[in-house]
Structure 1
Amino acid sequence: MTNEIEIRSLYTIEELEDVRRLESKIWGESDSIPTHQTITAVKNGGLVLGAFYEGQLIAFQYSFPGFNGQSVYLCSHILGTDEQYRNKGIGEKLKQAQRDEALKLGYSLITWTYDPLESINGYLNIGKLGGVVSTYLPNCYGEMEDLLNSGLPTDRFLVEWHIRHEQPSDPFGNKYDEDLCLANSLLQWSINDKGLPVVLPLTYEGLQNDNRIFVPIPKNFRTIRETNMDLATDWRMQTRQVFTEKFAEGWQVGGFKKISNPDIPVNFYILTRCALKGDFCNED
């Protein structure tokens, strides 16, 4: 199916209204971006991409120009896929198309935010695309009542994707085996009677590697959030503490280790010392 998907830039009011309707289907009608906003962005250095299957819009990506006082970059705001077409690689195809179009427009950096506890997004943004993260944004969007964020602080990673640079070496952590990740995990966990991982307090005892550290996140955080909000909040607050402290010390996320062992309920972010500061590395 993936090979049959057409991705193209969208420019017309009719096309962008289709995007608004799909966004409303995914997140809820009250939170959708007005078409007059997206069409204005497209006319002023922004970008809206649509993914089509058999002529039907099934996914989209929306970006607009950003400026940090020194340089211009492309701010990637929303990527959404219709529920029945998720987990088919469409998000990756949209991001690669976004990169190609951004290069044509003269950009060298794309940034976006995402929930660091969502393993699927971490695997795509860090592992597959080679983005790096050194900024943590607590409760970035405040309390949101949409279909995907209600009830939990909206903490976010700020991803930097330097699209003219080579991808970081070993973003999947292939040189680190499972035992090394476990031995250098900054957080530990137990399993409750529902089979869900319960995060334990932060500890630095027993770590074996000063050059790489590993921060676990649940493989299926969405299940935790939908069934046990207290447990979801614990994961949010414990990982917030870890990332906030480590980023302040000069570490950055540059890899994502996917654990195939079904008995281990987590995947890992790989943190290294921030050798070269990116455009956003020093910002709060």
Structure 2
Amino acid sequence: MTKTQEIIIRSLHRIEELEEVRKLECNIWGDTDSIPSHQTITAVKNGGLVLGAYCKDQLIGFQYSFPGFNGKSAYLCSHILGIDEQFRNKGIGEKLKLAQREEAIKLGYSLITWTYDPLESINGYLNIGKLGGVCSTYIANCYGEMEDLLNSGVPSDRFLVEWHIGKKETTDSRGRGIALDLVLVMENSLIQWDTIEKGLPVPSFTLGLPEPECDTAFVAIPKDFRTIRATNIQAANEWRMKSRDVFSDLFQQGWQVTDFIKDSTTEIPVQFYVLTKK
């Protein structure tokens, strides 16, 4: 994709469009568990939302949401977002999320929720650092043992993100990364790490939980978890279990994830979640 190629995002309503979405989903995750178009069109007709991202009339990304209800209020449950492999890391996911926010507000929603793998740093940076989502719920093995192309071999743990789209401070994509001393962050990360082959990080030990008077906590995750999972499944599972324990303990003590530190320093193989007390 070149700079001159414009990405168009629009809501999808026709069964033919939604069948294109299903086929793209199959290309990304495999065809064993794709969402049938009769399900997505039913959701669209009943408070749900499907967005398509197009480049030169080619569908290259999508986002699917359906209504949720917690017994007190309705919200939009953002279920799946996918980008064609050739168009990833070009900001299309962010464009889809911002369009989702606009359409959700039109439909009357003030909250969007979704889950994602907390070890996927690209998603963490987008969901927390740029969009302004927060998280205080950790779901261990959320979807059970997944055998698709992107998730096999590691428990499907997930963060549950809350995106309060009615609040101004969480509705512009300005990036909220805070200015901190990186050395201080590294030293105080609750997960410490060593580097192994190809410079990949593996968790070594964890620090104790913050003292009651502390107001900020940091947790390291790998910059490139997918490469770790593809080349060293043991290290991938060590990251999964260490981070599961740390985040679960923090959330139980009233902490929530509120920011993300993305560092581009090549020799530092991790990035960091920032947590604050509720």
Q: Answer whether TM exceeds 0.5 for this pair.
A: yes
| Partner residue in 1 for 2:23 | 21
Q: Distance in 2 between matches of 1:205 and 1:230?
A: 25
Deviations 1:37-95 (A, max 9, x none): 00000000000000000000000000000001111000000000000000000000000
Partner of 2:252: 248
Q: Give ranges in structure 2 of 5+ residues lacking alignment.
A: none
In the alignment, which residue of structure 2 is the partner of 1:280? none
CA contact (8 A) 1:257 1:268 kept: yes
The one of 72, 75, 81 aligned to 2:74: 72
Equivalenced residue count is 273
**Which residue of 182, 188, 199 maps to 1:178?**
182
Q: CA deviation at 1:171?
A: 6.0
Alpha-carbon separation, structure 1, partners of 2:200 and 2:113: 32
Tell me what 1:192 maps to. 196
Q: Which amino acid aligns with 1:163?
A: I
CA distance in 1, matches of 2:139, 2:260: 19
Contact 1:171–1:254, Cα closer than 8 Å, also in 2: no
SS of 1:267's equivalent in the other structure is: strand
Q: Is contact 1:138–1:156 with CA below 8 Å preserved after alignment?
A: yes
Residues 191 and 204, structure 2, Cα contact 8 Å, conserved in 1: yes
* Identical-residue share of aligned pairs (%): 66
2:255/2:275 contact within 8 Å kept? yes
Question: How much has 1:173 moved relative to structure 2?
Answer: 3.4
| Amino acid corresponding to residue 77 of structure 2 in structure 1 | C
Alignment partner of 2:198: what SS?
A: coil
Q: Deviation at 1:198? A: 1.4
CA contact (8 A) 2:203 2:239 kept: yes
Tell me which moved more, 232-241 or 255-264.
Answer: 255-264
Q: Secondary structure at the match of 2:197?
A: coil
Q: Which amino acid aligns with 2:107?
A: L
Would the alpha carbon gap of residues 193 and 8 (structure 1) be closer, same or farther in structure 2, given more than 3 Å must change?
A: closer
Question: 1:8 and 1:218 mapped to 2: Cα distance?
Answer: 34
Measure the CA separation in 1 of the matches of 2:147 and 2:62.
Answer: 22
Residues 1:146 and 2:157 aligned together: no
State which of 99, 102, 105 in structure 2 corresponds to 1:103: 105
> TM-score, normalized by length of structure 1?
0.93
CA contact (8 A) 1:76 1:111 kept: yes
Q: Is the Cα contact below 8 Å between 2:210 and 2:217 reproduced in 1?
A: no
CA-based RMSD: 1.7
CA drift of 1:154 comes to: 0.1
Residue of structure 2 in register with 1:34 after alignment? 36
Which amino acid in 2 is paired with 1:82? D
Residue identity opposite 1:194 in structure 2: K
1:88-123 deviation per Cα after TM superposition (whole angstroms, max 9, x unaligned): 000000000000000000000000000000000000
1:16 shift after superposition: 0.3
Any idea what the Cα deviations from partners look like across 1:144-164, whole Å, max 9, x if unmatched?
111011111000000000001
Question: In the superposition, relative to structure 1, how do residues 250 and 109 fare at CA in structure 2: closer, same or farther (>3 Å)?
Answer: same
Whether 2:57 is the aligned partner of 1:55: answer yes
CA distance in 2, matches of 1:182, 1:206: 14
Q: What are the within-5 Å matches in structure 2 for residues 201-280 of structure 1?
A: 201-204=205-208, 210-274=214-278
Aligned-pair distance for 1:206? Answer: 9.7
CA distance in 2, matches of 1:206, 1:132: 19
1:210-259 Cα offsets, whole Å, 9 max, x none, are 11110000000000000000000000000000000000000000000011
State the Cα distance separating 1:182 from its structure 2 match.
1.1
Runs of 4+ residues deviating >6 angstroms: none
- Within 5 Å, which residues of 2 pair with 1:131-142? 131-142=133-144
TM-score with structure 2 length normalisation? 0.95
Q: Which amino acid aligns with 1:240?
A: R
Distance of 1:127 and 1:264 partners within structure 2 = 19
| Displacement after TM superposition at 1:178 (Å) | 0.5
